[in-house]
């Protein structure tokens, strides 16, 4: 509670201070800067959604600013409508075009995504320039600021309007990012495959996030239009995009405060460049900070030599170059580049990320306490005693080119059992799991769960049908805490529609989700490490956490893909214990495992694969003695008894 | 519409498309070894062209200037690799996207201040007089572009196939970890690929400058189209870039004729977004199987 008060207090203080400035200072220039600060604040919060939360380099944001600005301008000049419809239209254009661009572009990762957004930005500049009859082309578009509900928007009033909108955006985004939506954004950055496999649609969330960020870009564009009252396509080009990126990265990604600090820097930059003394002061300070931080990093061995030296060289170049260059304005781009370079290399968390760590140490505000764990019966209801087959595979095939990884597999998994799936490396076990869980589409065959056909080729839809899985190569959301990892996957808790989430009505739901997730962490013995980030957990604990996360889906069928792989003996014992506990809840389990002792101890039934086909089936002890199994594991069996046993049907 | 005009535009468009293909080929070289590309490649093209112009102004003959310019391009490629790419690759992050954009911005600013903001002519001994071939006019200058593009691509491909170093290059492209275990330094191979990519960029600058003139912004439109070609063809498409490059070149010269020159860039950009939507790995790219 103290923490909340502290953070909210700081926010209130800053906004209140900003709001009172026009009452104290009557300086049109300063007021203009403040207005711009509020507008860029909204813009950068929008950009941070893609750059920070989705972790993608988005080069189209400046285009949404421009498109929003022109939309607002045209709504006022051509349609003669007022300020509110203009801003609404600007936001809507951002949202819509954002979604349209995101639909194809977000199927891509990294460089291709950056290229697609870059192309979009170039295309929209071309359109603004060439659609002369509408936009006035390179001549520009002049507009006047309409009145708002009969009030003339004088500069101070317009500033207050922008500030109120910034506060609203701030509040709404804070609510959104603290909810399941925010967690999903972060989860899909860490592992898109696991996000899908946990029934949280990766693609859907990505498109929504991008569209939302672009919508904010559009809104900022609308305000931009009314602020400057004159628009030109050249204003919304690559260079501004770089400055915006500088703002987000310098301020600190994944942080509203970071966006605000970034906006401040962006607004003040031109002044910094035109005032020589200010520039010397600033670049000198930057050099000192880079030097101190670099030396500290080297001594403490927390950074690589390059990370320590490069920012010092870059800032040094800036500081020394400042004395030799005739006009700093001419080197504007170079200066941005050097600053941005230093920050990206030396301070990847940005100013706010750096400050946050520092402030946390200084004030030691404890995080709000976690609720009591829910009753396990509510989180993972006891399944009724099983009868008959739960999962049925019929003649399942999956070929990769000429490789028949799975070649005609028919299998029944009885409800309430632990069904082992074993076989030598390359026998097709993992492919079977990947086909069932929807990562691969089967080449042929049918899969049904409780008699109903299971969706094919979609991790999300399979997960929603009641199948959960773990991953052999861990796919945890490494930046999220253990608790959040489980919370992302929780099924049936998040019911609040998006508009209400935005207004902050999801808090009760959040408490419930925390309690439920804690119950599952308790089940696997990680309750005490709920707030530890997944990447900081021990390897064994990470394996356990994969199971807890899968259980959050309340699955009918749980697929464990080598849950004991790489575990030390004590952890293997604990893992067996955990799987027994899960089984006691009546969850049907498919277990893929190489440790034969684990298989023997846990499984009711075992299927042995080799070359994509079943070579043996039965109870663990029968299967272990089966000659074909011995042959598959140990190579060609020698001796007369082996060949005599050969004709046995598999 | 007069077919000979269409033919004329198709031919000059296709020749221009070869330049896009050459730059796109530079992306492929680094993408193969490190799955990264230099977003500031356009600035490499431009700065190398300016440098070559300076060499010429210093009195160097054309044929001595070309190797000098190429060497400079290779050096710039190495600078980009060291300062912008290596750290990000070590951290397995995509920080190189932002860092290479930043380096490009710095090169741009440096060029603006060192060589000025104006476009300048680039002298060349190759004649610009048209030759008539099947009713279409082609200049020797335009043909020299085609010759240069195919020569360097052929040389690099030969190098990759015939020399030990080239085979190391292919090995790292195929499987970085396995190559490292066989004693091939992946870091050095990535450096080599960036040096080659820089060389290719410099050649693109030298070839195109006599036609377009040299200026800080000479490559900003060029690079967008090279990106389109690389992505539409696929970043691992090999010679696919040549076909796509020429097709795009034709398309844009027709577009600028029918829609107006302001819309020149529109077809390639639209095509890029569409291609990504339909086939994210490119027309000639290999589809990837997701593994877990």
A531-553 pLDDT per residue, tens:
889 999 999 999 999 999 999 99
> Is the per-residue pLDDT at A102 higher than 50?
yes
Q: Are strands A452-453 and A444-449 parallel, antiparallel or unpaired?
A: antiparallel
Buried b (16+ CB within 10 A) or exposed e, A82-103: ebeebbbbbbbbbbebbbebbe
The span from the CA of B112 to the CA of B126, in Å, is 28
Q: Which domain holds residue A566?
A: 388-645
The span from the CA of A101 to the CA of A570, in Å, is 51
Nearest CA in chain B to A439: B290
The span from the CA of A517 to the CA of A550, in Å, is 11
Find chain B residues with C-beta within 8 A of A111's C-beta.
36-37, 39, 94, 97, 235
Measured CA to CA in angstroms, residue A187 lies from A183, A212, A243, A484, B226 at distances of 6, 18, 28, 9, 34
Measure the CA dihedral B193/B199/B205/B208, to 10°.
Answer: -90
Residue A33 is assigned to a structural domain of this protein = no
Report the number of distinct structural domains present in chain A. Answer: 2
Residue A182 and residue A53 in contact, taking contact as beta carbons nearer than 8 Å: yes
pTM of the predicted model, to two decimals? 0.85
The span from the CA of A366 to the CA of B277, in Å, is 47
pLDDT in tens, A236-272: 888 888 889 888 988 888 888 889 988 998 888 877 7
Residue A20 is assigned to a structural domain of this protein = no
- Per-residue pLDDT band for B291 (boundaries 50, 70, 90) equals low
Chain A interface test: which of B34, B106, B256 (most A C-beta within 10 Å): B106
Q: What is the mean pLDDT of residues B194-205?
A: 95
pLDDT in tens, A220-239: 999 999 999 888 888 888 88
Residue A380 and residue A353 in contact, taking contact as beta carbons nearer than 8 Å: no
* Closest CA of chain B from A41, distance in Å: 21
Nearest CA in chain B to A338: B106
Is B290 in contact with A193 (Cβ distance < 8 A)?
A: yes
The span from the CA of A45 to the CA of A266, in Å, is 13
Find chain B residues with C-beta within 8 A of A331's C-beta.
109, 113
The span from the CA of A567 to the CA of B125, in Å, is 70
Residue A429 and residue A599 in contact, taking contact as beta carbons nearer than 8 Å: no
In this prediction, residue A648 carries a pLDDT of: 43
pLDDT in tens, A44-66: 999 999 888 888 888 999 999 99
Strand order of the β-sheet with A418-422 is A467-469, A557-561, A588-592, A418-422, A605-610, A613-618
| CATH code where residue A470 lies | 3.40.50.300
The span from the CA of A386 to the CA of A582, in Å, is 15
* Closest CA of chain B from A104, distance in Å: 4
Check if B228 contacts A (Cβ < 8 Å): yes
DSSP string covering B81-131:
IIIIIHHHHHTTSSHHHHHHHHHHHHHHHHHHHHH-SS-B----SS---EE
Mean pLDDT of the residues in chain A: 86
In this prediction, residue A190 carries a pLDDT of: 86
- Per-residue pLDDT band for A644 (boundaries 50, 70, 90) equals very low
Q: What is the mean pLDDT of residues A179-183?
A: 89
Taking the CB of residue A202, how many other CB atoms lie within 10 A of it? 22
Residue A627 is assigned to a structural domain of this protein = yes
Is B280 in contact with A108 (Cβ distance < 8 A)?
A: yes
Nearest-by-Cβ selection for B263 from A119, A126, A348:
A126
Is A344 in contact with B97 (Cβ distance < 8 A)?
A: no
Chain B interface test: which of A119, A401, A460 (most B C-beta within 10 Å): A119
* Closest CA of chain A from B97, distance in Å: 7
Nearest-by-Cβ selection for B269 from A112, A119, A130:
A119
In this prediction, residue A17 carries a pLDDT of: 84
Is A120 in contact with B262 (Cβ distance < 8 A)?
A: no
Using the Cα atoms of residue B112, residue B113, residue B117 and residue B120 in order, give the sign of their dihedral: negative
Residue A539 is assigned to a structural domain of this protein = yes
The span from the CA of A121 to the CA of A136, in Å, is 19
A640: exposed, middle or buried (Cβ count in 10 Å: 0-12, 13-18, 19+): exposed
B264: exposed, middle or buried (Cβ count in 10 Å: 0-12, 13-18, 19+): middle
Residue A101 is assigned to a structural domain of this protein = yes
Is A112 in contact with B99 (Cβ distance < 8 A)?
A: no
DSSP A264: H
The span from the CA of B222 to the CA of B209, in Å, is 12
Q: Which of A219, A236, A253 is the last residue of a domain?
A: A236
Comparing B164 with A367, the larger pLDDT belongs to B164
């Amino acid at each position: 509670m103290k923490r909340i008060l502290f953070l909210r207090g700081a926010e209130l203080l800053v906004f209140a201070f900003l709001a009172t400035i026009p009452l104290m200072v009557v300086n049109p220039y300063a007021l203009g800067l403040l207005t711009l600060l509020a507008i860029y604040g909204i813009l950068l919060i929008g950009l941070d959604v893609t750059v920070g939360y989705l972790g993608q380099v988005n080069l189209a944001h400046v285009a949404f600013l421009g498109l929003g600005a022109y939309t607002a301008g045209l709504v006022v000049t051509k349609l003669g409508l007022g300020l509110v419809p203009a801003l609404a239209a600007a936001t809507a254009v951002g949202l819509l075009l954002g979604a349209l661009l995101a639909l194809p572009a977000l199927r891509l990762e990294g460089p291709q995504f950056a290229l697609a957004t870059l192309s979009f930005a170039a295309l929209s500049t071309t359109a603004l320039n060439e659609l002369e009859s509408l936009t006035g082309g390179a001549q520009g578009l002049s507009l006047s600021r309409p009145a708002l509900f009969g009030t003339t928007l004088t500069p101070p009033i317009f500033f207050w309007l922008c500030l109120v909108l910034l506060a609203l955006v701030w509040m709404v985004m804070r609510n959104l990012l603290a909810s399941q939506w925010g967690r999903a954004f972060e989860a899909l950055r860490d592992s898109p495959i696991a996000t899908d496999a946990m029934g949280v649609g990766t693609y859907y969330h990505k498109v929504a996030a991008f569209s939302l960020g672009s919508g904010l870009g559009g809104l900022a564009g609308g305000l931009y239009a009314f602020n400057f009252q004159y628009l030109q396509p050249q204003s919304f080009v690559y260079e501004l995009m770089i400055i915006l990126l500088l703002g987000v990265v310098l301020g600190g990604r994944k942080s509203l405060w970071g966006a605000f600090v970034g906006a401040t820097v962006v607004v003040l930059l031109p002044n910094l460049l035109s005032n020589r003394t200010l520039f010397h002061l600033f670049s000198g300070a930057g050099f000192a900070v880079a030097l101190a931080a670099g030396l500290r990093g080297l001594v403490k061995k927390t950074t690589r030599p390059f990370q320590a030296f490069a920012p010092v060289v870059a800032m040094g170049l800036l500081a020394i170059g400042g004395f030799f260059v005739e006009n700093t304005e001419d080197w504007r781009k170079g200066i941005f580049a050097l600053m941005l370079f230093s920050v990206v290399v030396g301070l990847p968390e940005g100013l706010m990320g750096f400050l946050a760590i520092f402030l946390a140490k200084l004030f030691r505000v404890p995080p709000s306490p976690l609720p009591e764990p829910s009753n396990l019966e509510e989180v993972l209801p006891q399944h009724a005693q099983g009868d008959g087959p739960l999962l049925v595979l019929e003649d399942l095939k999956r070929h990769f080119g000429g490789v028949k990884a799975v070649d005609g597999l028919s299998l029944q998994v009885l409800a309430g059992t632990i069904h082992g799936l074993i076989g030598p490396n390359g026998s097709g076990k993992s492919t079977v799991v990947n086909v069932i869980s929807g990562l691969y589409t089967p080449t042929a065959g049918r899969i049904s769960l409780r008699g109903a056909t299971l969706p094919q080729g979609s991790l999300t839809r399979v997960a929603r049908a009641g199948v959960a899985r773990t991953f052999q190569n861990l796919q945890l959301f490494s930046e999220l805490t253990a608790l959040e990892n489980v919370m992302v996957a929780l099924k049936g808790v998040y019911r609040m529609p998006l508009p209400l989430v935005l207004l902050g009505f999801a808090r009760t739901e959040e408490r419930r989700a925390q309690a439920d997730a804690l119950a599952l962490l308790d089940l696997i013995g990680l309750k005490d490490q709920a707030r530890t980030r997944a990447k900081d957990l021990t390897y064994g604990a990470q394996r356990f956490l994969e199971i807890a996360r899968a259980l959050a889906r309340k699955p009918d069928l749980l697929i464990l893909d080598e849950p004991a792989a790489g575990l030390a003996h004590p952890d293997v014992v604990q893992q067996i214990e955990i799987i027994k506990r899960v089984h006691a809840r009546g969850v049907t389990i498919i277990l893929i495992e190489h440790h034969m002792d684990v298989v023997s101890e846990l499984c009711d039934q075992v299927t042995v694969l080799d070359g994509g086909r079943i070579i043996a089936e039965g109870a663990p002890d029968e299967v272990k003695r089966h000659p074909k199994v011995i042959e598959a594991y140990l190579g060609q069996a020698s001796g007369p008894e082996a060949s005599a046993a050969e004709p046995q049907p598999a | 519409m007069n077919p000979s005009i269409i033919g004329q535009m198709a031919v000059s468009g296709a020749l221009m498309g070869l330049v896009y293909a050459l730059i796109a080929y530079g992306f492929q070289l680094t993408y193969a070894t490190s799955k990264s590309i230099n977003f500031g490649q356009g600035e490499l093209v431009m700065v190398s062209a300016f440098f070559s112009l300076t060499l010429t102004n210093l009195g160097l003959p054309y044929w001595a200037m070309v190797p000098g310019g190429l060497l400079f391009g290779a050096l710039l490629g190495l600078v980009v690799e060291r300062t912008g790419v290596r750290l990000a690759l070590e951290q397995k992050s995509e920080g190189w996207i932002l860092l290479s954009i930043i380096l490009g911005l710095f090169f741009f600013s440096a060029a603006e201040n060192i060589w000025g903001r104006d476009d300048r002519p680039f002298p060349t001994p190759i004649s610009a007089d048209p030759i008539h071939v099947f009713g279409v006019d082609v200049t020797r200058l335009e043909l020299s572009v085609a010759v240069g593009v195919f020569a360097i691509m052929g040389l690099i491909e030969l190098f990759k196939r015939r020399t030990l170093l080239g085979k190391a290059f292919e090995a790292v492209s195929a499987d970085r970890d396995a190559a490292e275990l066989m004693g091939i330094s992946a870091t050095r191979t990535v450096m080599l690929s960036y040096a080659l990519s820089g060389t290719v960029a410099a050649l693109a600058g030298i070839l195109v400058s006599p036609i377009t003139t040299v200026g800080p912004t000479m490559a900003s439109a060029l690079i967008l189209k090279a990106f389109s070609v690389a992505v539409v063809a696929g970043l691992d498409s090999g010679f696919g870039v040549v076909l796509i490059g020429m097709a795009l070149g034709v398309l844009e010269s027709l577009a600028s004729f029918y829609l107006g020159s302001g819309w020149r860039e529109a077809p390639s950009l639209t095509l890029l977004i569409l291609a990504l939507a339909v086939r994210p790995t490119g027309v000639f790219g290999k589809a990837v199987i997701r593994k877990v």
